[in-house]
Amino acid sequence: MATAARTSARLPEAKNVASALDRALSAGKGILRLSPTWVPRSFLHPGKRVRLHPDDYYAYGLDRGGIDERWFASTTEAANEGRVPDEGLSWCVFDGERFLLRDAVAEGGAKLVGTAIWDRYKKWPVYSKFFDNMGPIPHHMHQSFDDAKLVGQEGKPESYYFPPQYNNCDNNFPYT
């Protein structure tokens, strides 16, 4: 993959996440730099508006599907069949090393995500992503927190925003 996502994969993992996190937060004045997180879906076709190099849309192979999502500040693994071990997870990149945002949140707790979020969830529970599909996504639903809890899962509140800067063409269906 010619993107920064695969470039960061070549960096060594930080041996001490706490130390790397403190140094990165200090240098960034509270801001962490994250490498792009690209996620393919085998059941959708990419709209090719997320500004990937053309060779990268099927970088994981045709059987894995095309990359049609970019996830932001993700601590959630993608639930894809045949996925790579860190698929969906955001990597913090600093000083020639990398560490998972998920590990940084576990280490930094309230200092990183704020007291209100940490006290309630003990993690970063936010899903932020760009969708870039050629056509509409299949009809689906996500359970509420209460309903999901009944089957040992977590709820997933979800909404969509399609920025006009990335949606200057409607592809074959202008709505989801």
160 bridge partner residues = none
Number of H helices, E strands in the chain: 6, 5
Max distance between CA atoms of the chain, in angstroms, equals 48
Domain boundaries, the chain: 4-134
Residue 6 CA to residue 19 CA, distance in Å, equals 24
pLDDT averaged per 10 residues in sequence order, the chain, 176 residues: 61 95 97 95 90 92 94 93 93 97 98 96 89 81 89 81 68 62
Rounded CA-CA distance 6/55 in Å is 13
CA 93 distance to own-chain centroid: 15
pTM for the model stands at 0.85
